[in-house]
Structure 1
Amino acid sequence: MASKRMTYFWSDWPPASQERLFKFVLTGVAGLCFAVLVGLNLFTGALGQQIAAVKQEYGLVVPLVQEITTLRAQQGDLAGLVPEEAVRRIVEDRVLGDYVQSLRSSRIGENRDGVQVTFAGLTLIMLTDFLQDVRDRASLQAPEFTLTRNPDDPRLADVHMVLAR
């Protein structure tokens, strides 16, 4: 049995034709690589321009958002009250009295009045609603905030926070 030799379609061609074929293939691969590199370069350039445009647009929006936040905080119905009284009113309005473990006034720094609040067994929705009211209605911020899982029910949270203007 004679072993069959693997032959390629160009094996029977004259050497000059084989040489032209390989030069053509080499030129084609080089041209394809060049086209891919040029395409990628154009794509990344356009993407860079798009990112720059979005950054510029973001830069225009940020001051507006900060101004809106400041105005919203000044218009809160509880912004004129001391922090402890404002938080008590929000707790009453949100019916969170059963969840409050402690609520007492405290001093933040030298001249900032604040309030320390500890909740037990809150859902995430209750907490976010409370924090939104604290921000929007009383213009308070939380320089200290600790969130832990409730030991009795892991789906609930225990929260200790310090709120101040």
Structure 2
Amino acid sequence: MSGGGYFWSNWPDMSRQRLFRVAPRALVAVGLCLFIGLRLLTGTAAVQIEESKAQYSRVVPLVEEIRALQARQGDLLRLPLDEAVWRIIDDLAIEQNLMSLRETGASQDEASLQMTLTGLPLNTLARLLAALRDRAGLQVRDCALTRNPDDPRLSDAHLVLAR
């Protein structure tokens, strides 16, 4: 190996000159290809993100409208408050958990009920609240949720319901 420790050191002068002429151009071409490829990939990702945002902004109002319509179209909406609540309690078979259900004078403009339940699993409580909202069009005006003293895995709830 004369003239250094590089692999092209033993090449003929013509081959070395061609290498040094072509190598920078090849490096620039490879770099340009990488840059363009990465730019296209990030551009595509940015376009997809913007399309997803636009689609989300179109869907959110529809979902909110559907939820509002479901609340207004409940099968128990036309029943008096206490009858609607009793139907939901019967459907969920939680009569044994109901401690009290009585009318309250929270507001003169709207009828409201106070309901106290004990020993409910959280999933049953969630189904109860969803049914009150979706089927009877009721809102929870006040809620006190505590751990059941007899079984800490269960909950006790005091709800004030109104339309």
**TM-score in terms of structure 1 length:** 0.67
Instruction: Count the aligned residue pairs.
Output: 159
Offset at residue 134 of structure 1 (A): 0.9
User: CA 1:43 to 1:156, structure 2 compared with 1: closer, same or farther past 3 Å?
Assistant: farther
1:138 aligns to what SS in structure 2?
coil
Counterpart residue number, 1:66: 64
Alpha-carbon deviations, 1:17-42, whole Å to 9, x = none?
xxxxxxxxxxxxxxxxxxxxxxx999
Q: Does residue 160 of structure 1 match 2:158?
A: yes
| Alpha-carbon distance change, 84 to 45 in structure 1, aligned in 2, over 3 angstroms | farther
Q: Which moved more, 1:83-92 or 1:148-157?
A: 83-92
Residues 76 and 136 of structure 1 are in contact (CA less than 8 Å); yes or no, is this contact kept in structure 2?
yes
Any idea what SS the aligned residue of 2:149 has? coil
| 1:86 maps onto 2:84 in alignment | yes
The 2-side partners of 1:53 and 1:108 are apart by 48
**Which of 129, 133, 145 matches 2:127?**
129
Q: CA deviation at 1:67?
A: 2.0
Kindly provide the amino acid, as one letter, of the partner of residue 70 in structure 1.
A
1:55 aligns with 2:53: yes
Task: Determine the C-alpha separation between the residues in 2 that align with 1:58 and 1:114.
Answer: 37
Does structure 2 conserve the Cα–Cα contact (< 8 Å) formed by 1:108 and 1:164? Answer: no
Moved more, 48-57 or 152-161: 48-57
Partner of 2:10: none
Deviates more, 1:114-123 or 1:60-69: 60-69
Query: CA separation of 1:142/1:51 partners in 2, compared to 1, >3 Å: closer, same or farther?
Result: farther
Q: Equivalents in 2 of 1:61, 1:87: separation in Å?
A: 32
Q: Give the Å deviation of 1:122.
A: 0.3
Shift of 1:53: 3.4
TM-score using structure 2 length:
0.67
Q: CA RMSD in A?
A: 3.8
AA aligned opposite 2:104: S
Q: Match for 1:97 among 95, 98, 103?
A: 95
Give unmatched runs, 5+ long, in structure 1: 1-39
Q: Hey, what's the Cα distance between the residues in 2 that align with 1:82 and 1:111?
A: 15
3-state SS of paired residue (2:152): coil
Structure 1 residue 52 displacement after superposition: 4.0
Q: CA deviation at 1:85?
A: 1.9
